[in-house]
Every structure is written in structure tokens, then in C-alpha cells.
């Protein structure tokens, strides 16, 4: 498929990037569109370097424009299209002397298009992958598999060597014992027997030396593998787990590591058996300069050291501590149950239920003044077993632990006088067990990533910010004083982490243009944000200028709003979201009337979303209008797609109109949101058929923001002068056909204003209401043909609550 066709089929968020790419006059999108096939078939790279090739392509380009113009004339296309093609040809004449400059420009645009396509494909892959349970095998993994197979093969060969050596020794021992028992006096025969025995002994000695040497080589391979597993693969897994805790789509599956650890442990235990066998054989037959006496102790020490190191590294925390209803892992609340799972990566069936895991807290707590300490309550001792793991791994799954703060007053005895808030105070949960198998005994210990412990749900948001910052930047999991000297974050790190928050919550992360807007908010206008830094204080403690909330509070409020009320629209790419007020005007002012976009408010603490659309004055001047942002409260009452569907404004003639026609850049509203529309019909009963009701937002023309000149396009900042939307029937009310109701109808203090026919139980009250002529003046009849039970009055609307007229 041609590159241009691929671009046109992308989601709206990427079409926006294409639209912005061709926003200037350097290379018109019309030319790119109508000459797409020819443009993509030329070697613009060569033309940018070769004047003659560039001149040929330049001339052909002008000819193609003439041909396209003729097509427009013959096809009866609009005069505007014909005019634009002539104008573009005239504009290209400036490259007559230096056609290679035009070639360079076209080459640059094609390269930028490829970048957009690549970003779209990458985002699609991430969404499809989520967290890969079976990641593709890397070169490193293939190398480990090859070395692991080589180690297993050497062990099998060594096992055969041991059997052969045992047979040799048995032969030597038998002949030696026979020689001693016969006691021959024939010197020649005796000499001959001694020669045979000496030959057998020499062969046995060579076998022992060869076996010891082979064990040394085998241990070299085991040590090399251990270094790769512990210092590379396990460390990388731990880092992936850190990132996954804060939303990264990284695999934390331990099955492959478990396979490798188990295989190497089996091989090392086999080597110990070989050494033990050598010791047994040496006990039966030994001689002067026996190599086993000299080399076996060193080999035994070495294999035990490797095995101990492997076993200690194999005890890990598979699932970090988390509360069932928490914002994320590693934030725990006192007296609220949490769960955590440990795993032993050496999977031996004989160890099932044999190793007890115990839990404790803060064994290495820092000596900081005021540092709190906690007790772990609940079932804090469990056996490693294979029943609690879906993959059959050796796990101890603690599901009902709680924390209780110690009241001993020990928190005031620290030697460091640091000022850390509760949500900057880090704690570690420790786990202990004992490995005992085949006379090998090793004490094992592992610990969780640092957790933040809160006592009130109001601290949750701040605590999660601490977890994000720590796991984004810290590579030392036991650094409990991280926030005492907190490092800054580079923008690429922060931007990636912020994108993970959306990716993990909604399966769609942030695009580059959205991240650029956030970077602009944090650092101001820059050509490149990669070198920009942000401190922990600016991220989570200092208020955003001209507001009473921090950057993190603002961002997290938007995230919660999207997750709770806008997830489907966000995943569809319908919400541009992070775009400034000034930027939205730049994007909309060149679009057709009724084009609108959806963006997040920059001035609402707990998250707000608004839409802005473009209209044109009688003189053709673009006018971008906005409404007051909708909050979580609004979205909890009316779904946002229904707000967009039914939103109306009252123009000067008091005629309602929905100004939202095309989702930016040019998607018809029904095409973008139609799949979410629902028709709510009234409930039926044997007595009453209800009239359908609908809640809508209505805004008055006079509440629109002032028509400001386009210099506001460069203004960045607060949401100012928006329309004030009204729910349902407000100062100007409409019946179900859309016609205005009499102005005498009283205002409803309830924004959720509905129109419906009365229930039978309310008829006596309504009849009393009709006896009051002052009230009756306020009633307008909405229906003449609805059937009612006997005694009911047809055509009567019921508004709740009703108020007397002035």
C-alpha cells in the first residue's frame, strides 16, 4: 500500500500530526495528495544531491500539475481547486534555479511521514502486546540456552566418566587383591603381575586427573552462566519489575528464569555427587600423589560457593506488596490487608511444602529522627509450595497481612535530623527461609521494593507520586533515604513514565504531541525538551503557577477522570486531550465550520474536559469558541458522548443549534461517536406509557467567550471566558420537539431537569395543583394523544420540582 494511503487510514491522533506537518506553505498537502503515486516513485534523495536529476524531476512535477489542472477542468471540479493548483505551480517557480532545494524539501516531508507511520505501528504493537507472557527470544537468551545445553551435556559426559572410572578401579582392586592373596614366589610372574597392576593404576590415575580437570572446566561454565543469570538476567528482571510496578508494559514472567536456575542447580548438585563419589573411591583405593587428595577440597569449596550464590539469588519477591483497592502496588495503609508473593526459582519437587517463609519489617531501618516502625500482623509464616502458582512454581502467597504502627516511641532516637514527610518515608518488608537438601543448608533472604505506608486515604495520591518517582529513578532498591537527597528527572524519563500511567489504566499511552504539550507546560517553549530536568519538588510539592495544586495532582485528576468516564473515547483516539488553548485555536482556525476538538482543562484540580469548535463570521473570519470544562460530577450524570451529541447553543434568534459537526481534523461526529449513542426509552406498565426524556447541555449565545482577534493563538495558559453550559431545561427550555416553551415556565433548581408523564399516585396532587390558577398559568401541554387511566388529565407535563410563578 502506498505511504500516503497508509497515512490516511491512521487514527485521528496521527492524522492530526499529518495535518500539523503540512500546516505551512513549504509543500502543499493538495500537491502531496493528488500527485501521491508519482511523488513516492521518485528518488528524491539522489535529486537532492544531483542538480541534473533534480531539474528533470522539477520539470515533470510542473507538467503533472498542468495535467491535474486539466483533469479538474474536464471533471467540472470547483473553481477553487483549479485556482489552487495554478497557484501551487506558480509558487514552485521559485525553485527554477535551485531545483535540488525542492527535492530536499519533498525528501524531508516523506521522511517525517515515515516517522508518523512508525510511531503509529509501534503504538499498535504495544496495545496488542500489553504485557507479553511469551516474549520473543533475544540473542542473550539464545546464548544462555546454548551454554545451558553445553553444561548439561558436560554433566552427562561426566556421569559416564565416573562410571568408567569406577569400573577401572574395580578391575584394579580385584587384581590387586588377587595378587596379594596368591602370593606367588615366581619372580618373573610376580614382576609381570606388578607391571599389569602398575598399568591399571596409571590408567586409574589418568582417569582421576581427567575427571578432576573436567569438573574444573564444568565449574568454569557454571560460574560463567551464574554471572549471566544473577548479574544480568535477574537484575534486568528486577528493573523490569520496578518499571512494571509504575505501569510499564514490561514482562515480569519468571518461568524462563526458573527454568535456568533449576537447570544450573541440578548440574551443581550433580557435580557435588561426582566429588562425593571420588571421595568414596579414594577411600577404597588411594596411592601416593593421588590427585583427589590434593584437588578435591578446592573443587568442593568452589561448587558449594557457586551453589550457595545461586540459591540465595533464586529467592525473590514475585508480586510486590499491594492492597486490593489501592491506586497501585507499594502503597500500603495501616490496618488494611495487603498481599505479597515470594518465589523460589529452584524448582525441586522434594522441596514442596518443606521451606517455611517468615515475614518481618524494617530490619535495617535508617536512624532517622521520627522514622516510624511497624509490626506485621496476620499469617506471617507460610510454606513454599507449588499449589498457589499457576505455573507450578515454588511460591508463598501471603494474602492477609496488615501493618500496625509501633507505639514504643523509638521514632525519636535517630541520628539524622531529616525532614521527610510520611509519604517520603520508605520501608522494606523482609522475607526469610531455610534451604536444606542433600546436606546443603543455606539461609535465604529477600525483600520487597520500598513501600510507602499511609494511615489515611487522603495520602494515597501523594504516596503514589513517591512510588512513581522512586521506581523511575532509583536503581538501588534498598535506598530508604532516597528522598533525603532526591535526584532530578530528565524529561524523556518523566514523559515515558507519564505515558505509562495512561497505558496501564486505559491501554493507550500518550503520543509525542501530547507529551510535547505537557513538556511545554512544565518547561516553557523549547526546541527540544530532551535536556530539560524537573525536580521532585516541582513535580509533587510546588503548585503550578496561578493555581492551588501541583502538577501531579492536575495530571492524576485527569487520569482518574479518563479512567472513570472517558476510557473508550480515549482508546479510540477521539480525545486530543493535552493541547493548550492557544494551540487549539491554531489547529481549528483553518478548518471547516463546526470542526471541534476535545482537550483537558489546565485550570481544574480534579480533572476537566472541554470542547472547542470553529465558526466563521459573516466576513469569513474564524472564531474559536469553547465551553466551560465538564468535571467528573458532570460526566457522572451525562456520558460525554451524549453531551457532544445533544449539546445546543441559543443564537440571537433564540433558536437552538448543535455547533459540533466534525471531530478534528475532519471526521463526521456520527462516525466518531455514533457507536456509543444509546436511545433510552421510557418504561412501560399496564397503566402509563411514559414520554421519552433526554438530558442535554444548553448554552446561550451571550455566554460564549468574547470574539477575540487571532493574536490569542499564541496565548498559553488558563481556560478563560468559556461558555457556561446549562443542563436540560434552563432559562430557555425546549419541549421534546425542540420548540421553545413559554418564558413563564419557572426555573428548576435541579440541574438534572426531566420531562415525563405523571404516575397515577401523583394525580390527586396534580389536581390540587390545577385548582391554583397562578400555577396553571405556568403549564404548557406537550401531548394531546397520550392515553391515561381514568381520572388523569391528558397532555399534562410534570416537572420536578414545580414552583409558583411570579
With respect to residue 553, please indicate whether it lies within any of the assigned structural domains.
no
With respect to residue 679, please indicate whether it lies within any of the assigned structural domains.
yes
pLDDT at residue 184 in the model: 64
Q: Do 283 and 334 belong to one domain? A: no
pLDDT at residue 64 in the model: 87
pLDDT at residue 680 in the model: 47
Handedness of CA 121, 126, 132, 137 (dihedral sign): positive
3-state helix, strand, coil in the chain (%, to 5): 50, 15, 35
More confident residue, 475 or 74: 475
Q: Do 225 and 144 belong to one domain? A: yes
Q: Is the pLDDT reported for residue 705 higher than 50?
A: no
Q: Is the pLDDT reported for residue 228 higher than 50?
A: yes
Top mean pLDDT of 84-98, 311-325, 521-535 is at: 311-325
Q: For residue range 373-395, list pLDDT tens digits in order.
A: 999 999 989 999 998 887 889 99
Describe the crossing of helices 291-313 and 255-284 by its angle, rounded to 10 degrees: 160
Q: Do 616 and 719 belong to one domain? A: yes
CA atoms of 455 and 402, how far apart (whole Å) = 12
Q: Do 170 and 210 belong to one domain? A: yes
Q: Is the pLDDT reported for residue 779 higher than 60?
A: no
Distances (CA, A) of 708 to 347, 598, 704, 717, 806: 71, 20, 11, 16, 39
Q: Is the pLDDT reported for residue 768 higher than 80?
A: no
pLDDT at residue 345 in the model: 96
Q: Do 678 and 760 belong to one domain? A: no
The lowest-confidence range among 171-175, 333-337, 402-406, 790-794 is 790-794
Describe the crossing of helices 12-21 and 99-129 by its angle, rounded to 10 degrees: 160
CA atoms of 247 and 503, how far apart (whole Å) = 7
CA atoms of 802 and 749, how far apart (whole Å) = 10
> Of 313, 332, 348, which residue constitutes the final position of a domain?
313
CA atoms of 402 and 464, how far apart (whole Å) = 19
More confident residue, 272 or 121: 272
> Of 485, 502, 532, which residue constitutes the final position of a domain?
485
Q: What total of structural domains would you count in the chain? A: 5
With respect to residue 204, please indicate whether it lies within any of the assigned structural domains.
yes
The mean pLDDT of 245-256, rounded to a whole number, is 92
pLDDT at residue 95 in the model: 87
The lowest-confidence range among 250-264, 465-479, 583-597 is 583-597
The mean pLDDT of 691-704, rounded to a whole number, is 53
Task: Give residue 683's pLDDT band: very low, low, confident or very high (50, 70, 90).
Answer: very low
Contacts of 343 (CB under 8 A, 6+ apart): 254, 258, 315, 316, 317, 318, 384, 389, 393, 394, 395, 396
Q: Do 303 and 335 belong to one domain? A: no
CATH no. for residue 106? 1.10.532.10
Contacts of 242 (CB under 8 A, 6+ apart): 449, 471, 477
pLDDT at residue 236 in the model: 94
With respect to residue 497, please indicate whether it lies within any of the assigned structural domains.
no
Q: Is the pLDDT reported for residue 295 higher than 50?
A: yes
The mean pLDDT of 619-633, rounded to a whole number, is 89
Closest CA to 326 of 498, 503, 461, 473: 461
Per DSSP, 25 falls in state S
Contacts of 525 (CB under 8 A, 6+ apart): none
The mean pLDDT of 84-99, rounded to a whole number, is 85
pLDDT at residue 673 in the model: 92
pLDDT at residue 780 in the model: 39
Helix (H, G, I), strand (E, B) or coil at 424: helix
With respect to residue 224, please indicate whether it lies within any of the assigned structural domains.
yes
The lowest-confidence range among 30-39, 210-219, 238-247 is 30-39
CA atoms of 785 and 806, how far apart (whole Å) = 31
Q: Is the pLDDT reported for residue 432 higher than 70?
A: yes
Helix (H, G, I), strand (E, B) or coil at 332: strand
Q: Do 116 and 165 belong to one domain? A: no
CA atoms of 193 and 707, how far apart (whole Å) = 118
CATH no. for residue 241? 1.20.1050.20
pLDDT at residue 654 in the model: 64
Q: Do 597 and 714 belong to one domain? A: yes
Task: Give residue 248's pLDDT band: very low, low, confident or very high (50, 70, 90).
Answer: very high
Q: What is the Cβ-side half-sphere exposure of residue 286, based on CA atoms within 13 angstroms? A: 14
> What's the domain range around 451?
317-485
The mean pLDDT of 760-765, rounded to a whole number, is 45
Chain position carrying cell 533449576? 262
The mean pLDDT of 457-470, rounded to a whole number, is 94
Q: Do 436 and 292 belong to one domain? A: no
More confident residue, 412 or 787: 412
With respect to residue 499, please indicate whether it lies within any of the assigned structural domains.
no
More confident residue, 92 or 777: 92
With respect to residue 543, please indicate whether it lies within any of the assigned structural domains.
no
Q: What is the Cβ-side half-sphere exposure of residue 256, based on CA atoms within 13 angstroms? A: 19
pLDDT at residue 255 in the model: 93
By CB atoms closer than 10 A (0-12, 13-18, 19+), residue 408 is exposed
pLDDT at residue 262 in the model: 95
pLDDT at residue 49 in the model: 83
pLDDT at residue 104 in the model: 87
Flag whether the pTM goes above 0.75.
no
pLDDT at residue 540 in the model: 93
More confident residue, 124 or 792: 124
The mean pLDDT of 142-163, rounded to a whole number, is 89
CATH no. for residue 399? 2.60.40.630
Q: For residue range 501-534, list pLDDT tens digits in order.
A: 999 999 899 998 899 989 998 998 888 899 999 9
Q: Do 306 and 434 belong to one domain? A: no
More confident residue, 128 or 676: 676
Per DSSP, 689 falls in state B
With respect to residue 534, please indicate whether it lies within any of the assigned structural domains.
no
CA atoms of 680 and 125, how far apart (whole Å) = 37
Q: Do 34 and 78 belong to one domain? A: yes
pLDDT at residue 691 in the model: 46
pLDDT at residue 46 in the model: 86
Task: Give residue 7's pLDDT band: very low, low, confident or very high (50, 70, 90).
Answer: confident
> Of 109, 129, 149, which residue constitutes the final position of a domain?
129
The mean pLDDT of 124-137, rounded to a whole number, is 53
pLDDT at residue 549 in the model: 92
Task: Give residue 708's pLDDT band: very low, low, confident or very high (50, 70, 90).
Answer: very low
Mean pLDDT value across the chain: 80
Task: Give residue 694's pLDDT band: very low, low, confident or very high (50, 70, 90).
Answer: low
Q: Do 638 and 715 belong to one domain? A: yes
Q: Is the pLDDT reported for residue 770 higher than 60?
A: no
The mean pLDDT of 237-242, rounded to a whole number, is 95
The mean pLDDT of 417-430, rounded to a whole number, is 87
Share of the chain above pLDDT 70, in %: 80
Amino acid at each position: 500500500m502506498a505511504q500516503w494511503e497508509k497515512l490516511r487510514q491512521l487514527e485521528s491522533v496521527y492524522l492530526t500530526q499529518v495535518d500539523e506537518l503540512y500546516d505551512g506553505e513549504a509543500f502543499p498537502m493538495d500537491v502531496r495528495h493528488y500527485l501521491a503515486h508519482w511523488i513516492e516513485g521518485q528518488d528524491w534523495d539522489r535529486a537532492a544531491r544531483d542538480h541534473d536529476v533534480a531539474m528533470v524531476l522539477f520539470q515533470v512535477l510542473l507538467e503533472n500539475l498542468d495535467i491535474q489542472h486539466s483533469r479538474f477542468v474536464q471533471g467540472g471540479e470547483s473553481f477553487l481547486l483549479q485556482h489552487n493548483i495554478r497557484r501551487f505551480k506558480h509558487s514552485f517557480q521559485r525553485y527554477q534555479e535551485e531545483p535540488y532545494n525542492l527535492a530536499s524539501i519533498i525528501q524531508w516531508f516523506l521522511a517525517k511521514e515515515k516517522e508518523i507511520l512508525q510511531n503509529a505501528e509501534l503504538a499498535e504493537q504495544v496495545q496488542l502486546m500489553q504485557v507479553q507472557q511469551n516474549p520473543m527470544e533475544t540473542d542473550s537468551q539464545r546464548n544462555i540456552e546454548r551454554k545451558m545445553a553445553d553444561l548439561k551435556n558436560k554433566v552427562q559426559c561426566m556421569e559416564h566418566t565416573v562410571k568408567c572410572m569406577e569400573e577401572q578401579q574395580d578391575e584394579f582392586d580385584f587384581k590387586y587383591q588377587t595378587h596379594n592373596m596368591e602370593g606367588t614366589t615366581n619372580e618373573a610372574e610376580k614382576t609381570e603381575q606388578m607391571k599389569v597392576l602398575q598399568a591399571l593404576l596409571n590408567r586409574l590415575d589418568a582417569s582421576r586427573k581427567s575427571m578432576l580437570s573436567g569438573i574444573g572446566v564444568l565449574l568454569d561454565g557454571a560460574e560463567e552462566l551464574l554471572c549471566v543469570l544473577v548479574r544480568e538476567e535477574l537484575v534486568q528482571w528486577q528493573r523490569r519489575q520496578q518499571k512494571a510496578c509504575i505501569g510499564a508494559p514490561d514482562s515480569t514472567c519468571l518461568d524462563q528464569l526458573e527454568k535456568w536456575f533449576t537447570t544450573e542447580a541440578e548440574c551443581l548438585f550433580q557435580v557435588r555427587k561426582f566429588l562425593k563419589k571420588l571421595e568414596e573411591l579414594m577411600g577404597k583405593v588411594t596411592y601416593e600423589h593421588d590427585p583427589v587428595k590434593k584437588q578435591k577440597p578446592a573443587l568442593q569449596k568452589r561448587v558449594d560457593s557457586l551453589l550457595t550464590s545461586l540459591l540465595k539469588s533464586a529467592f525473590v519477591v514475585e508480586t510486590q506488596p499491594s492492597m486490593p483497592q489501592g491506586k497501585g502496588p507499594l502503597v500500603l495503609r495501616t490496618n488494611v490487608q495487603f498481599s505479597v508473593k515470594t518465589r523460589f526459582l529452584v524448582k525441586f519437587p522434594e522441596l514442596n511444602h518443606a521451606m517455611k517463609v517468615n515475614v518481618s519489617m524494617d530490619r535495617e531501618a535508617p536512624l532517622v529522627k521520627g522514622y516510624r516502625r511497624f509490626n506485621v500482623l496476620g499469617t506471617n509464616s507460610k510454606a513454599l509450595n507449588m499449589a498457589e502458582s499457576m505455573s507450578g512454581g515454588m511460591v508463598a502467597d501471603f494474602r492477609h497481612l496488615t501493618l500496625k504502627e509501633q507505639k514504643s516511641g523509638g521514632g525519636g532516637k535517630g541520628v539524622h535530623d531529616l525532614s521527610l514527610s510520611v509519604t517520603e518515608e520508605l520501608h522494606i518488608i523482609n522475607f526469610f527461609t531455610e534451604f536444606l537438601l542433600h546436606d546443603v543448608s543455606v539461609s535465604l533472604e529477600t525483600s520487597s521494593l520500598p513501600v510507602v505506608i499511609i494511615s489515611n486515604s487522603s495520602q494515597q495520591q501523594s504516596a503514589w507520586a513517591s512510588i512513581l518517582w522512586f521506581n523511575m529513578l532509583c536503581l538501588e532498591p534498598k535506598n530508604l533515604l532516597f528522598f533525603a537527597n532526591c535526584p532530578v528527572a530528565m524529561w524523556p524519563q518523566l514523559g515515558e513514565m507519564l505515558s505509562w500511567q495512561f497505558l496501564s489504566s486505559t491501554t493507550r499511552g500518550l503520543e509525542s504531541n501530547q507529551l510535547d504539550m505537557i513538556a511545554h507546560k512544565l518547561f516553557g517553549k523549547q526546541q527540544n525538551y530532551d535536556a530539560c530536568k524537573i525536580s521532585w519538588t516541582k513535580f509533587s510539592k510546588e503548585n503550578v503557577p496561578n493555581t492551588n495544586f501541583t502538577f501531579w495532582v492536575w495530571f492524576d485528576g485527569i487520569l482518574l477522570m479518563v479512567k472513570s468516564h472517558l476510557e473508550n473515547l480515549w482508546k479510540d483516539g477521539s480525545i486530543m486531550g493535552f493541547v493548550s488553548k492557544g494551540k487549539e485555536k491554531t489547529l481549528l482556525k483553518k478548518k471547516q465550520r463546526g470542526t471541534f476538538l476535545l482537550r483537558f482543562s489546565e485550570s481544574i484540580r480534579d480533572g476537566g474536559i472541554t470542547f472547542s469548535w470553529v465558526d466563521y463570521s459573516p466576513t469569513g473570519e474564524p472564531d474559536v469558541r469553547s465551553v466551560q470544562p465538564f468535571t467528573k460530577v458532570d460526566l457522572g450524570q451525562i456520558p460525554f458522548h451524549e453531551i457532544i451529541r445533544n449539546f445546543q447553543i441559543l443564537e440571537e434568534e433564540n433558536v437552538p443549534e448543535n455547533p459540533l459537526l466534525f471531530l478534528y481534523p475532519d471526521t463526521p461526529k456520527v462516525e466518531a461517536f455514533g457507536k456509543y449513542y444509546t436511545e433510552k426509552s421510557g418504561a412501560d406498565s399496564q397503566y402509563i406509557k411514559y414520554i421519552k426524556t433526554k438530558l442535554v447541555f444548553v448554552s446561550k449565545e451571550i455566554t460564549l467567550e468574547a470574539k477575540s482577534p487571532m493574536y490569542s493563538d499564541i496565548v498559553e495558559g488558563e481556560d478563560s471566558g468559556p461558555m457556561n453550559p446549562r443542563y436540560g431545561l434552563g432559562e430557555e427550555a425546549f419541549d421534546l420537539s425542540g420548540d421553545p416553551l413559554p418564558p413563564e415556565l419557572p426555573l428548576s433548581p435541579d440541574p438534572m431537569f426531566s420531562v415525563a408523564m405523571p404516575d397515577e399516585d401523583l394525580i390527586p396532587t396534580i389536581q390540587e395543583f390545577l385548582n391554583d390558577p397562578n400555577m396553571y398559568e405556568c403549564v404548557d401541554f406537550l401531548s394531546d394523544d397520550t392515553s391515561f387511566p381514568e381520572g388523569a388529565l391528558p397532555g399534562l407535563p410534570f416537572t420536578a420540582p414545580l414552583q409558583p410563578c411570579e
